[in-house]
Each structure stands twice: as structure tokens, then as C-alpha cells.
């Protein structure tokens, strides 16, 4: 049978794999799954090999059982050897076995440790569409019915179709003219809301330049009219940042982290397979290491609210500019990080608030925001199992590179898409 996706799974996860297969095929994505697609008398190993070679993408249902399965390791090795895209969807929070880590160190992960629910499945389908060069299915009521889907670091999910497309076709030039007028008004409104570029200072404790972010209020969470928001971006709420702070102008770089390691005697993180110079954002940094660096620089990691306030810089739209101009992401990065400050900054003068690497925040992760509205200086939950990540990375798709998009990961996770930037409350 002709198929686009091969589903790799442990027998203990058959129910999940079947559900994934049914959902994807309902979405028009053809799948191969055992034992359904193994014909009578066909050799199992030969059928698996042929199916993997014929597919374009392998979806790995990753669980504690899959983590120790030699058969699944063989399937993933075969997929990597034949240059197939591998998309793992994680069901269990378990340390990734070295055999998998070797093959999956630089691929996207989708988290579904409380599912998979419909939101997880739609996210998976849209991820696959992006790899298959198909338009994404707009996230609409299906997400509203689902509780939050935990966002993985560096997950890569295509480009939002214009809501006005149908209207333009229907109403012709009049609709286009009206749209242009509304767009101009929106741009002017954004411009009036945007802060001036912030003043900057070099932090004497790490030698990096920081931008002053003045106090203010903003709407945190799903941007109005953004149909690609996930449940964990809601409920949107008015947030007041009562005190100004200084934020690192770029993500912490390889060079700045090397100086930190030389001062403290700590080892440098493992280098990624793609090349990096000192002016690239450092990667393979877990939350603890990022927190230690920031404290050594006289600061701390930003709260999630501080991060989004700084990223938006007064802009109420999902992004603070045209994405190819402001961010290194999946469609322009060519498979790795890029030097910091080589895309356009936001209105504060901060670079790479979207793209290049995911950035650790101080907060514990929660599936949704507290409904309290308005809120002053929110700090996130008192406890949790994962820490918040923001900003998307070099492998992310358009709909993850949004100011409100939220990721989360265990505090000890290191990946080639994970970095950070610091803030200081007071600058000498």
C-alpha cells in the first residue's frame, strides 16, 4: 500500500498507535502500521524494511516499553540510514536510552505524556503536513475541547493560512481594499503601542550587553485572532509588570558560556553536529546550568511573564515582525543555529526572541494559566515537574515561532535546541 508515514511502536502501545493511525488517516495522511499492513505469508522483517524504505516520515510512539525495544531501535536506525524524517511522540517521562539518543539527538519531539489527546494528535498531524509540504489544518474548536498539550522543546509544527482568503475571493477588490485599510490601521496601532528601543549597558559580571525593559502592562497568552494557539496559552489575561529589569540582548552565546566555564571550572556542553562559532547561541544547556550561569552573572532566569512582555515589545500580534526578517527557524535556518543578532531586533532592541534556540524561563510549567485577571508580576506555580521554555528554535515551524507559544521540559534535559538568556533586576 502507498503510504507517507510509517508508525513505529511497542506492542504494549498498540492502542495508542492505532488511535494515531486512525486520526492521521482521517486527516488525509496515509499510514503503514503493523500488523494491519502485513499481508498473509509475508516475512515480518522484510515487510518492515520495505515499508520504512517506502515512507517519507517515521512516527515513533515513544514510551518506557519502546525505550528498551531492540526492534524499535532497528526500525529507527533503518529510518535514519535511509534519511527518513523521524518524529517521536513521547508518552512516558523516562531517560532516553543511549541507543535512541544517538539517532534522535537532533530531531523534533512532541510531548503527549498526558495523552495523546486530540490537541496532541492535531499537533502531530500539522507537524507531518509541514514535512510533506501540505498546508496545516487550522487549530479551531478541536483545541478548545482539549486540555493543554505540553509543548516539547524545539517541537516543529506550517504556515497559517490567511483567515481572509475566502473573503478576498468572494468580494474581490473591495475585500482586498478593506483588508489593506484594516492592515494599515493595525500596523499603526502596533506602532503606537511599541516601546522605544531600550537603553543598554554591559553587565560587568559576564561582559554581555543587556537592555532595560521598563515596567508596563500587556495581554499575556493567546493573541487575539490567532487561530494557532494551543490550550496551554489560555486563558489570556492582562498582566502588569511592576518593576523594570535588564534582559540580555541576545541569547547566551558559546563565547560567553566558555568564559563562564573558564571562571568556574565547569565543563562546556557537548557540541552539536552542526558547526558553531563563539557568536552562536550556546546549546545543550539544561535548566540547572542556565540558572547557575545567570546567578553567576548577577541575575536570574526571566519569569515567563517577563519573557513574553519583553518579546512582544508592545506588539499584540503573534509575532513582532515578519518572521523571515526577525527569526532563524525551520524554513530558513538550514539545520542549525546562526550567529546572534543577525536578524532584526524587536522594538526593545532584543534579538532572537523568536527562533535560534528555545530559552529556559524560571517558572515551573502548568497546563494553563491561572484564571486570575488582571495579574501583577506572576511567578508561575510553586512546584512542578517541568520548566517553561519560550521562543522556539532553529528547527521550529511558523506556528511555534509566536510570542505566546509555550514549551516545557524536565529541568535536566539537554538538547541541541535548548539555550537561554538572563535578566538582572539591577545593573551596576
Of the listed ranges 47-56, 226-235, 255-264, the least confidently predicted one is 226-235
* Rounded CA separation 221/406 (Å): 9
Domains held by the chain: number: 2
Domain check: are 102 and 242 in the same one? no
* Rounded CA separation 340/386 (Å): 27
What is the C-alpha end-to-end distance of the chain, expressed in Å? 67
Neighbours of 199 (CB within 10 A): 13
Residue ending a domain, among 79, 110, 144, is: 144
CATH number for position 395 = 3.90.1580.10
pLDDT averaged over the chain? 83
207-231 per-position pLDDT tens digit: 999 999 999 999 999 999 898 788 8
Asked whether residue 158 is domain-assigned, the answer is: no
Q: Which residue has the cell 525505550?
A: 67
Asked whether residue 151 is domain-assigned, the answer is: no
In this structure, the strands spanning 423-424 and 245-248 are: antiparallel
407-424 per-position pLDDT tens digit: 999 999 999 999 999 999
Mean pLDDT of 342-358: 97
Mean pLDDT of 7-20: 90
Q: 118-131 and 14-26 are packed helices; what angle lies between their axes, rounded to 10 degrees?
A: 60
**Global model pTM greater than 0.75:** no
Q: Is the predicted pLDDT of residue 160 greater than 60, yes or no?
A: no
* Rounded CA separation 215/428 (Å): 19
What's the DSSP call for residue 197? P
| Selected residue with higher pLDDT from 131 and 304 | 304
369-411 per-position pLDDT tens digit: 887 777 999 999 999 999 999 999 999 888 889 999 999 999 9
* Domain enclosing residue 40, as ranges: 5-144
66-124 per-position pLDDT tens digit: 988 888 988 999 998 888 999 999 998 888 887 777 777 667 788 887 778 888 898 89
Asked whether residue 346 is domain-assigned, the answer is: yes
Q: What is the DSSP string of 108-162?
A: --EE-TT---HHHHHHHHHHHHHHTT-PPPPP-HHHHTS-PPPPPTT----PPPP
Asked whether residue 419 is domain-assigned, the answer is: yes
Residue ending a domain, among 127, 144, 161, is: 144
Mean pLDDT of 14-39: 90
* Rounded CA separation 366/384 (Å): 7
113 within 8 A of 408, measured Cβ to Cβ: no
Confidence (pLDDT) at 348: 96
Domain check: are 219 and 356 in the same one? yes
Domain check: are 210 and 139 in the same one? no
Mean pLDDT of 260-278: 96
* Rounded CA separation 172/18 (Å): 45
Confidence (pLDDT) at 198: 63
321-335 per-position pLDDT tens digit: 999 999 999 999 999
209 within 8 A of 202, measured Cβ to Cβ: yes
44 within 8 A of 38, measured Cβ to Cβ: yes
Confidence (pLDDT) at 106: 64
Domain check: are 248 and 108 in the same one? no
In this structure, the strands spanning 387-390 and 358-364 are: antiparallel
Percent of the chain scoring above 70 in pLDDT: 84
Mean pLDDT of 22-37: 91
Asked whether residue 153 is domain-assigned, the answer is: no
Neighbours of 392 (CB within 10 A): 36
172-203 per-position pLDDT tens digit: 333 333 334 334 433 333 333 345 556 899 99
What are the C-alpha distances in Å from 93 to residues 62, 90, 265, 289, 386?
10, 8, 31, 21, 11
Q: How many helices (H) and strands (E) does the chain have?
A: 12, 16
Domain check: are 204 and 134 in the same one? no
Residue ending a domain, among 84, 118, 144, is: 144
CATH number for position 130 = 3.40.50.10140
Asked whether residue 139 is domain-assigned, the answer is: yes
Mean pLDDT of 241-245: 96
Domain check: are 317 and 385 in the same one? yes
Phi, psi (deg, nearest 5) at residue 306: -60, -40
Domain check: are 358 and 258 in the same one? yes
Asked whether residue 83 is domain-assigned, the answer is: yes
Domain check: are 126 and 245 in the same one? no
Domain check: are 130 and 229 in the same one? no
Of the listed ranges 34-38, 201-205, 368-372, the least confidently predicted one is 368-372
277 within 8 A of 405, measured Cβ to Cβ: no
What are the C-alpha distances in Å from 352 to residues 220, 344, 357?
19, 8, 8
* Rounded CA separation 21/132 (Å): 16
Domain check: are 113 and 212 in the same one? no
Domain check: are 237 and 307 in the same one? yes
Q: Is the predicted pLDDT of residue 312 greater than 50, yes or no?
A: yes
Confidence (pLDDT) at 136: 65
Domain check: are 312 and 409 in the same one? yes
* Rounded CA separation 79/49 (Å): 9
| Selected residue with higher pLDDT from 425 and 180 | 425
Q: Is 18 exposed, middle or buried (0-12, 13-18, 19+ CB in 10 A)?
A: middle
Asked whether residue 74 is domain-assigned, the answer is: yes
108 within 8 A of 130, measured Cβ to Cβ: no
* Rounded CA separation 292/299 (Å): 10
Amino acid at each position: 500500500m502507498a503510504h507517507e508515514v510509517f508508525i513505529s511502536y511497542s506492542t504494549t502501545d498498540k492502542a495508542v498507535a492505532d488511535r494515531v493511525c486512525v486520526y492521521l488517516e482521517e486527516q488525509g495522511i496515509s499510514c503503514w502500521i503493523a500488523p494491519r499492513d502485513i499481508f498473509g505469508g509475508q516475512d515480518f522483517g522484510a515487510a518492515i524494511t520495505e515499508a520504512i524504505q517506502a515512507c517519507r516520515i517515521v512516527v515513533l510512539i515513544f514510551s518506557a516499553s519502546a525505550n528498551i525495544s531492540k526492534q524499535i531501535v532497528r526500525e529507527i536506525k533503518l529510518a535514519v540510514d535511509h534519511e527518513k524524517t523521524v518524529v517521536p511522540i513521547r508518552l512516558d517521562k523516562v531517560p532516553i536510552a543511549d541507543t535512541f539518543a544517538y539517532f534522535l539527538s537532533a530531531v523534533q519531539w512532541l510531548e503527549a505524556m498526558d495523552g495523546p489527546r486530540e490537541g496532541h494528535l492535531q499537533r502531530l498531524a500539522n507537524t507531518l503536513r509541514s514535512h510533506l509540504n501540505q498546508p496545516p489544518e487550522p487549530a479551531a474548536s478541536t483545541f478548545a475541547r482539549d486540555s493543554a498539550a505540553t509543548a516539547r522543546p524545539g517541537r516543529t509544527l506550517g504556515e497559517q493560512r490567511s483567515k481572509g482568503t475566502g473573503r478576498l475571493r468572494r468580494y474581490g477588490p473591495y475585500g482586498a481594499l478593506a483588508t489593506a485599510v484594516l492592515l494599515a490601521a493595525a500596523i499603526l496601532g502596533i506602532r503606537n503601542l511599541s516601546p522605544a528601543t531600550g537603553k543598554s549597558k554591559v553587565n560587568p559580571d559576564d561582559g554581555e550587553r543587556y537592555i532595560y525593559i521598563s515596567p508596563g502592562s500587556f495581554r499575556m497568552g493567546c493573541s487575539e485572532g490567532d487561530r494557532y494557539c494551543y490550550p496551554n496559552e489560555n486563558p489570556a489575561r492582562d498582566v502588569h509588570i511592576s518593576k523594570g529589569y535588564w534582559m540580555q540582548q541576545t541569547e547566551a552565546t558559546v563565547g560567553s558560556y566558555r568564559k563562564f566555564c573558564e571562571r568556574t571550572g565547569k565543563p562546556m556542553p557537548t557540541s552539536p553536529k552542526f558547526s558553531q562559532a563563539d557568536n552562536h547561541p550556546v546549546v545543550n544547556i539544561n535548566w540547572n546550568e542556565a540558572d547557575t550561569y545567570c546567578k553567576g552573572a548577577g541575575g536570574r532566569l526571566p519569569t515567563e511573564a517577563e519573557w513574553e512582555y519583553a518579546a512582544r515589545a508592545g506588539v499584540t500580534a503573534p509575532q513582532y515582525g515578519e518572521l523571515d526578517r526577525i527569526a532563524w527557524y525551520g524554513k530558513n535556518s538550514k539545520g542549525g543555529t546562526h550567529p546572534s543578532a543577525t536578524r532584526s531586533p524587536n522594538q526593545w532592541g532584543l534579538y532572537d526572541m523568536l527562533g535560534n534556540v528555545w530559552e529556559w524561563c524560571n517558572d515551573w510549567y502548568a497546563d494553563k494559566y491561572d484564571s486570575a485577571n488582571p495579574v501583577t508580576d506572576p511567578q508561575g506555580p510553586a512546584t512542578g515537574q517541568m520548566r517553561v521554555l519560550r521562543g522556539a528554535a532553529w528547527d521550529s515551524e511558523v506556528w511555534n515561532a509566536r510570542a505566546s507559544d509555550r514549551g516545557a521540559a524536565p529541568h535536566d534535559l539537554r538538547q541541541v535546541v535548548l539555550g537561554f538568556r538572563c535578566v538582572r533586576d539591577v545593573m551596576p
